[in-house]
Amino acid sequence: MHGEHHNSRVPTAPLLSPRDQTRVGAFGRVVRAVALLAGASVIALVAAIAMDVEAWLSAPADPPARADVIISLGGDPGQRAAHALDLYKAGFAPRILFMTQDGSGNEDPSPFPDLRGKGLVAAGVPPQAIRYEIAPQTTREESIAARAWMQQCGWRTALVVSDAVHTRRVAWTWRQTFAATNLTFRTTPAPSRSSPATANLHTELKKNVFYRVRYAADACARDASCTGDLKLNIACRP
């Protein structure tokens, strides 16, 4: 009898019994479900915080009321001008002052150098009801320029139009600037088309902190006659 080679295998017992394997599978499913739930909770928490931040930045907004002038702040892609137009057509004020960073001012040979003004004229606003001030480059400078315009033109009340998330910073800055005057304003932000990105909210939060630190003791804001380095182009036509 020839030698035979047997390739026999030694039977091995499974590491886990079928019952234990079922338990492990169920545990794995629970872990995955918990992980998914935790991820969803984090996303929901971030969204809730962002919503709270947006709501905080967007206050204190005021309902519009009759005023002498509507002041639309600069840096506007279009929604502020549209809101200013709505306020004008609703009869809240007889004139609009654009704080522009892209116009050429009241003395430019072209009567409506600012694209926003052109849009309003096309929508039926009389040219003589629109003013431009191109000097300001910041919210603080806009408040100082607006104060000078209102004092010189005899306007006592204003509706200030900006983006909703700028409302808190705008309101704080303008209160500082108007404190030594008998002028009043209401913040009437343009309706938001969509929620701003979280990064934009963070930027606006930092701006709020910066303004309160930098301008808490602003001498020019406290001096009702101060215009700083601004070379204003005030034109108080009827």
pLDDT at residue 45, rounded to an integer:
43
Q: What is the CATH number of domain 69-222?
A: 3.40.50.620
Q: DSSP letters along 36-90, please? A: HHHHHHHHHHHHHHHHHHHHHHT-S-------SEEEE-SS-SSHHHHHHHHHHHT
Task: List phi, psi (to 5°) of 58.
Answer: -85, 0
pLDDT at residue 104, rounded to an integer:
46
Query: Does 51 have pLDDT greater than 50?
Result: yes
pLDDT at residue 139, rounded to an integer:
93
Lowest-pLDDT range of 77-86, 105-114, 200-209, 229-238: 105-114
Residue 149: how many other CB atoms lie within 10 Å:
22
Lowest-pLDDT range of 28-37, 61-70, 204-213, 221-230: 28-37
CB 182 within 8 A of CB 154: no
pLDDT at residue 237, rounded to an integer:
77
Residues 6+ apart with CB under 8 A from 235: 106, 107, 131
